[in-house]
Amino acid sequence: MPLDCILGETCVIEDYPDIDPTEGVSDYRCGLKTQDGHSGTDFALLNFEQMEDGVRVIAAADGRVEAIRNTRPDQPYVPGTDLDGEECGNAVRINHGNGYQSVYCHMKLGSVRVTPGQRVVQGQLLGEVGLSGLTNFPHLHLTITQGSDIIDPFAPGKANTCAEPRETLWLDAPRYTDAGLFTAGVSDAVPELEQVRSGAARRTTLSPSDALVLYAHAFRGDAYDRIEMTMVGPNGPVFAHTARLDDDQAQLMRAYGKRAPDTGWAKGMYRGYAQLIRGNTTLAVRHADVVVE
C-alpha cells in the first residue's frame, strides 16, 4: 500500500487505471471504477479532516527518488485554471530498477520528506496525502510505469478478459468491488435521475431560504447496502440520514434534505458527504460543497 490507511475503514480505492483505449472506460475487471484515460490508482480519504490530521504516504517498494515537487497549494481545482503542467500537484517519483517507476501525486504542501537522489526502502515515509494539483478531494494518485508504458498494478500485461488476474504487482492485492458512486451533489429540491446525470441538479450557491438537499448517484448496489448521507454547515451538523437499498440495482439515486429554518440557513459553506457501505466496509465516498449567500 502506498499510504498508511485501512481500505474500507479509513480510505477507499476511488478509481483504477483505464484499460479501454477508446473513449469508453473500463477498469481491469470491466467495471466502471475509472475515468477516460486515467493512468493510475486513486486512494481517497473519507473526509477532509483526515487530510488535516495527516495521512502518511509511503514508498510502495525500494528505490531511488528521481524527482519531487513540494510547492503547490492545497486547494480544490477550479475548472479552467492553468496548472502549468503540474496537474500531479506535489509529488514524488521513484525509480525501482528494471525500467519501473512509481509516481505519487496530490501530496500535501510542505509534507514531502525525501530529496532527489535519496535511496528509500519499502514503507519509508514520503510525505502526506493532500489536495494539490488537479483534484477536488484529498486522495493519493499512484501511477506505475515501465519505460513509456503505464502499468496497471492489479493486472500487469493482462488482456481485458474481466476475470481476476492470476498475477499482480501487489504483495497483497486489495480486494476489488464493482460498486461505487458516480457523484454526489447539493440541490434545492429532490432531483430526477436525469437531472443528476446531466449535472442540471447541482447547485453551487443557495439562498438562506432554500431547501438543502444532498443527493448521491450510485452504481451496482446490492440489497442491504446503504448510503450514509451527512451535511455540515458553519454552525455544525445539519443532518445525518441512512438510505438503504432493498434490491440489487445497476444504477440508483438517493436524496435527503431539510427545509430552511424560519430564520434561514446561516451564510457560509456547507459540505455534504455520501458513503456507500456494504456491511462494515465503505466502498465509495463522494462529497459536495455549496455556499449559502
pLDDT tens figures, 34-55: 999 999 999 999 999 999 999 9
- pLDDT value of position 158: 64
Contact 209, 264 (CB under 8 A): yes
Q: 180-292 sits in which CATH class?
A: mainly beta
**Over 70: is that where the pLDDT of 69 sits?**
yes
pLDDT on residue 157: 78
The answer, yes or no, to whether residue 146 has pLDDT greater than 80, is yes
- CB count within 10 Å of CB 235 equals 10
Q: How sure is the predictor about 161, in pLDDT bands with cuts at 50, 70 and 90?
A: confident
Over residues 63-76, mean pLDDT = 97
pLDDT at position 164 is 85
Distance (Å, whole) CA 88 – CA 256: 34
Beta-carbon contacts of 53 under 8 Å, excluding residues fewer than 6 positions away, are none
Calpha distance 199→192 (Å, rounded): 11
> In the structure, what pLDDT confidence band is assigned to residue 160 with cuts at 50, 70 and 90?
low
- Whether 209 shows a pLDDT value over 80: the answer reads yes
Which of 20-29, 115-124, 185-194, 223-232 is the least confident region? 20-29
Residue 162's pLDDT band, with cuts at 50, 70 and 90, is: confident
Residue with cell 524527482: 67
3-class secondary structure, 230: strand
Q: Give the separation between CA 219 and CA 196, rounded to whole angstroms.
A: 13
Residues of the chain with CATH 2.70.70.10: 11-151
The rounded mean pLDDT for the chain is 96
CB-based contacts of 28: which residues, under 8 Å, 6+ apart?
16, 17, 19, 152, 154, 155, 158, 160, 165
- Cell readout for 65 is 527518488
CB 40 within 8 A of CB 105: yes
Residues of the chain with CATH 2.60.40.2550: 180-292
Mean pLDDT score, 117-138: 97
Q: Is the pLDDT at 159 greater than 70, yes or no? A: no
Please state the pTM of the whole predicted model: 0.94
Q: Is the pLDDT of residue 14 over 70?
A: yes
Instruction: Answer yes or no: is pLDDT of 165 > 90.
Output: no
Q: Which CATH superfamily is domain 11-151 in?
A: Glucose Permease (Domain IIA) (2.70.70.10)
**What are residue 93's phi and psi, to 5 degrees?**
-115, 130
* Banded pLDDT at 30 (limits 50, 70, 90): very high
Q: Which pLDDT band holds residue 113 (cuts at 50, 70, 90)?
A: very high
